[in-house]
A and B are shown apart, each in its own frame.
Chain A
Amino acid sequence: MRILVAMSGGVDSSVVAALLKRQGHEVIGATLQLYEHNGPARPGACCAGRDIMDARTVADRMGFPHYVIDAESRFRESVIDSFADSYARGETPVPCVACNQGVKFTDLLGLARDLGCEAMATGHYVRRLEGPDGVEMHRPVDRDRDQTWFLFATTREQLDYLRFPLGEMPDKDHVRALAEELGLDVASKRDSQDICFVTNGSYASLVEKMRPEIEGPGDIVDAEGRVLGRHEGVARYTVGQSRRLGDIHTQTGERQVVTHIDVKNRRIVVGPRSQLGIGDEHCKIVLRDMNWLIDAPPEGVFCGVQLRARESLRLARVKPVGQAQAEVLLDDPALAAPGQACVLYDGERVLGGGFILAKGR
């Protein structure tokens, strides 16, 4: 079949493209140019200028056409700007979700359809399985590389059209060996990590450069507003973290965690970890932009939820409410960071997910 492969220039998507070509499919490679590459290319982060060349080299070697798609302005608006906006609201965004949702699975996928492709493949580590009620998203065989959490916003329609051949790979060594076997120069290329568009310095300095109004130090306070210490900038904090709080753990005699980011007053609010869950304040989370990968259950569903990219499941009852929202009732209290994703699992299967809403204060 004619299939478009989203190629980042890294080993994963290169192997996907090469494998599909070897299987006899009509492969079309496409690499998104997401931002301008001035200065030295940074190998290891997704889509640097070098990566476009690498993707093209793979396409030339395997003998399929490859195109570079200009997605700069769309990426800037839909990913980078909203990343900064989110921090400016006191949230902790997940830009990779926004990118998959918009630039990749809407725009690039639309292009694939325009070109008459029957499917689009990517190098993500997730499994797409045909279930009795349509396609399902499952965790990959290689659990260390699980990317389901970042792909929860994929709609069922998109999922139907997508292919993730790496979901079945036992481990990354296997993928690299395949790249070697296929003669791809990228076989030993470093994995991408971090946020691709933060090309120098920290994400926080980028955010502060884009939204100077939130830059600068402020107070760390407790729930009653008593000043416990100072911080270097609100964008450096996430609800639930206990690092970067200076000596206030010893000062208060208790381990403290960030419970709220008050951007307006430039304050980081903390509370003792031991106080978590007194009352049900920390057991209820509301999600926005809820995406269900099952038929939304009006009565709710009891499942596992994952509140961060890397953490274990918590048990909860999740129920659709309002307009594309859902209410999560956790069995045990947790500090959910606004802007992060809450993804629902039934065993290996992804049931859906949404973005954590800030609590009304």
Chain B
Amino acid sequence: MFTDDAGKAGMTAEGPGNSAKSNRRTGGDLVQLITPGGERVSHPEFDSWVQDIGDEQLAALYEDMVAIRRIDSEATALQRQGELALWPPLLGQEASQIGSARALRQDDFVFPSYRDNGVAYVRGVKPADIVKAWRGNALAGWDPYSVNVATQQIIIGAQSLHATGYAMGIQNDGADSVAVAYFGDGATSEGDVNEAMVFAASFQAPVVFFCQNNHWAISEPVLLQSHIQIADRASGFGIPSMRVDGNDVLAVMAATRIAIDRARHGGGPTFIEAVTYRMGPHTTADDPTRYRDANELEDWAAKDPISRLKALLDRKGLLTADLEAAVAANADAVARELRSGTINMPEPQPLDIFKHVYSTPNSSLDRQQDHYTRYLASFGDPAAAASEEGAR
């Protein structure tokens, strides 16, 4: 019973969802532009938002999705080989991440969670930087201002407030960029996500709440988080929402463009629920066979986001041997870059532990650093002393 979409039982009658009455629609039925079989179906409201996505763009989206799936499998392999301490796979969520991230402008600012590695990749984060924190070489892998992506948030939902505050700043600056918060179904139970929606609505901040409902918060099914559809939570805050097929890259892109456009033009926040599925474990340390049915995975495998887009390309006669070869070559190159960047990553130095705690000198910490420096020096060879410390 927990495998159904959230809130089927508790859903209130809303009338036909797809024929939205206005663009301030809420939740409703799942919006889909590509069927699991790869058929392009039309939608009166959403079609116009992806009208410009021609053959070339579809192929590019396909290439992105294959690349991030490859990053994901390569990172999982690196973890199994002891090169990463942990990895949170995004397997199954490629359409949600690519469709949304490719709808953004470079000056929009993203506040991701730890699983949004596909978002980071298409925003320009280098593959090895994506795994830097998971290797334990840093707490975060990149300078947020270099790619307009905040470092990945591990505290569930906390970044939704950061996105909202950032959006309030955009508003004060009179700029037309947008902040986007990425989080999951579990996060919608957190106070911070709810407070973020209160603030966003009160100040009509240019923020998009992009929720990937991947059905599982580690072992907890989405029904434990919500007894109504997650998208419908937004209406309680006075925030318009959409519920889209998160394994359909075009539907996700259209919804994100609608939300971004609204925010850019002073229309305030929007909540998007991208209904998708976490096909892998929560992290490489997790064992989903303890809590979910293998049949469920099979059902979702049939709705796979990449197979679906591939089928569409095939129907359109675009899936040529050349395209397949180019897409595979790109994925191979990204994987090679990830692997060599990981293995050759410079090791941090012992005294780096003291860096950047404060932006200006701090007398107490300076003393601790001085004492630890002397301690290391007492071994004669600080580097050897540090590795000995680590071995204990």
> Is chain B found bound to chain A in the same assembly?
no
Residues of B within 8 A of A (CB): none
